[in-house]
A and B are shown apart, each in its own frame.
Chain A
């Protein structure tokens, strides 16, 4: 077997110090993605730094923000009363992901960092620019039913697989990162990257950084929000397309709106044009349809995923419909 060292740490500071010491080390949280990658030979860290004992599991209201620690489990967040009450969209998205067993150990930070599920990425005998830059992209011209329709590059058309992150980008979350010098904040929509010419990079986390918490501003979207995930089976499958929709409706007018889509891009895909269109308009099916159309402006299919060009707008409409009709 490929030997690796296992280290356990209990503070952010020592975690970062350990990370800095060895370029070939990695944090391990729930391990639900990293261990699979190691078994398939996609990732081979020499040191695993177990961060599960770093006290970052808080879920609390601080001022006008809901703060969630990076090591809170997906289940803990989804079942937290504060989250269910104030951010039901996040709870719904989490519950739509993976399986109960996985959610019990998967963490917020690990979920954000999970890698694409593209089959070529996992098979070291196949070409993949993300795994091995320059080797080509197996999915272009291959099996790309699960792949992206927005913001693609000819180097990589993979999608970011997370459900949680779709809700977080819609909710204007802020990511707080720690590094050797202190902390920095980055808005959630800027955390993940498009593939561009550097498909090997999923996000903007730097080599010496650790995700420590999320800050999510409180909003009035709780009542009319919905996370709709379309998938090949009713549970335990990644999204073909998913939509996070939240609206604040007063007098049948949309006063605030958030829309984001999963399963369509290399990063959680915020639908700004659709939001701008709907803001101030009536919550009618006609307007939803128009918004869905706007969302699709720059979409591009790669063959097997062409169906998403229809499924995506349909899902936007349905998510908005359901969100609206919640009493």
Chain B
């Protein structure tokens, strides 16, 4: 990639590519002989396919093939006992409405679309339930799958405390809805070599899944995904529609492209699961927390279980000797969920951070003071010190920037005509992960450095961060550094998820650079050059066009000794209209405490994007089903409301920017998740402060404000 146009060393290395259309996304690869796949989807919610009439479709103009469970090519992993649970497309069973049941391949997208409308299925229908609230009510007593219960001290100690808060919080299904629609191009060559252009958060994961399903050697598969138009978690797995496309390509011997519709984005590529949570908090009158209980039900599917970290935060975020949590998943007849930005922690934080605010109110304490009072020095759950935590400083910075001193503790105090102003705060926290990754570095005598790793960039600016790490270590200007990613043939790296890429891949970049530096120093010494000689001179002197090194890097014992988290504090000011019920977010201040900030611009973008996603979660986003039919009702961008510019006020971002001494060589921790985690509670808390109305069901739409009095 050409970095010549960068104005500032902190600019996004691929920014110009993205805004000029040169960045090539999966769907833009024009392979010779490319064909187009369109899915036929089930119109019932549960049951069995009795017949599939594909004759008319097969005869339609331009159609090459119609593939379904009846004529699919073999996928050995699906045949074996205990193979992947999700045999969607490979079975006559219907698990959810909108399930892919056939793929029509034609020589144009339009023809495939038309032919897909001609495929007729008949079904044996069965009773179903897509209503999560109903499912929870029906099964509340049953012990379902989830995660192990957690207990420290006395169970449900909150019940006997001097001051008690116990409340239930509801989150609807949210759909990731990145701008880029999901899909894949699969090209199965005659010798069982497969090339894939994917929209994926992990090229190695996609490669591994395809190898596993078709039982072909992993080296046979090449996955490319250099640019991704947003993922938010939905591209963390290889979905049945992608496997179907690979099957189709194998079947017809031509490359097949599929790009699903916005409507299909709601049914078959995951969602943030709905959740119902009960929080019990107990405190002494002086504001000391004495008991925390967090019980959560999360939505899952009937054909595959999905769990996430909904109750994690309750275990360590506040100083409290008595904590118990329970997390249970309850199946409904919908597609399996998947992590959505901030994943389970964002769900849990809405409940916990709302309840903390409710407790502060019950105690007549400033919610910020209440949090500071109960801020732990050590991680009580793991019984370890935190590697690095500067929450009190973050509170101080954020509260000053939002103007917290203007806030009145009594709700409904700041009134100007019909507008009521309120301030809210909440905290976000996420495990500061570090995985294992390899990076190859090639230092060239022309002064350039090439770094390569099979990591991804779903938008956060992976290449920019890595380039800055290398530039700082080697003193090479950023426009001489090229970071290559999104290709499964590069040295392995994990999928981009869990806010771990900078920590994981960045550490390997660090190690590569350190190693290159010492090699240059050695070469310099061997050729009687000054130890500080420029590497270009050293390479030239040694007649070396380049040197290269590959390093694998991973965490060590430090993770046993310390508890490592990234933190965020969100401050929100809202104005609520008392007649119309409209909530306008007036100002946002988010403070990140995530170690060293390696790449200031892209880090800020992460926080801004998280806040925008948080406004959506708090105020507008909800995937609505008609449970009589099991079908989504608002499955388009006019009716599924992601925030628009007019919803977003000034967003101020601040970083503590102090290195975590233990986590990795950069001292940098991930921040993609903390940008969103907790945010929705800050809004709900601000709404309460403005109006005295406590909304415990997201999103906080105008009707809910009017309904509660």
Contacts and interface: CB of A to CB of B under 8 A. Distances in A.
A233 B582 CA distance: 9
Contacts of A293: none
A138 interface: yes
Contacts of A318: 418, 577, 579-580
Nearest to B115: A1
A143 B633 contact: yes
Interface in B91-135: 108, 110-111, 113-114, 117
Given A2-B114, A117-B639, A240-B703, A142 B580 contact: no
A236 to B, nearest CB: 5
Interface stretch (A86-94, A119-127, A170-178, A184-192): A119-127
A234 interface: yes
Contact of A310 (B108, B644, B645, B706): B706
B581 A234 contact: no
B619 interface: yes
Contact of B639 (A119, A125, A228, A230): A119
B634 interface: yes
A120 B629 CA distance: 11
Contact of B645 (A235, A240, A314): A235
Given A307-B703, A315-B579, A119 B644 contact: no
Interface in A222-246: 228, 230, 232-238, 240
A317 interface: yes
A233 B643 contact: yes
B143 interface: no
B105 to A, nearest CB: 15
Contact of B707 (A120, A235, A236, A307): A307
A126 B97 CA distance: 12
Contacts of B579: 314-315, 317-318
Contacts of A126: 626, 629, 631
Contacts of A235: 644-647
Contacts of A238: 638
Interface string A88-124: 0000000000000000000000000000010110110
Given A235-B644, A240-B702, A230 B633 contact: no
Which bracket fits the contact residues of B?
Answer: 35 or more
A311 interface: yes
B624 interface: yes
Nearest to A229: B580
Interface string A284-327: 00000000000000000000000100110011011001000000
A55 interface: no
A122 to B, nearest CB: 8
A41 interface: yes
Interface centre among B113, B577, B647, B702 (most CB of A within 10 A): B702
Contacts of B114: 1-2
A145 interface: yes
B703 A117 contact: no
Given A232-B620, A237-B641, A314-B581, 9 more contacts: A1-B108, A125-B629, A126-B631, A141-B628, A232-B641, A233-B647, A234-B646, A236-B638, A311-B703
9 contacts: A1-B114, A142-B633, A143-B626, A233-B644, A233-B646, A235-B644, A238-B638, A310-B706, A318-B579
Query: What 6 pairs across the A-B complex have the smallest Cβ distances?
Result: A234-B646, A307-B703, A1-B110, A119-B633, A235-B646, A314-B579
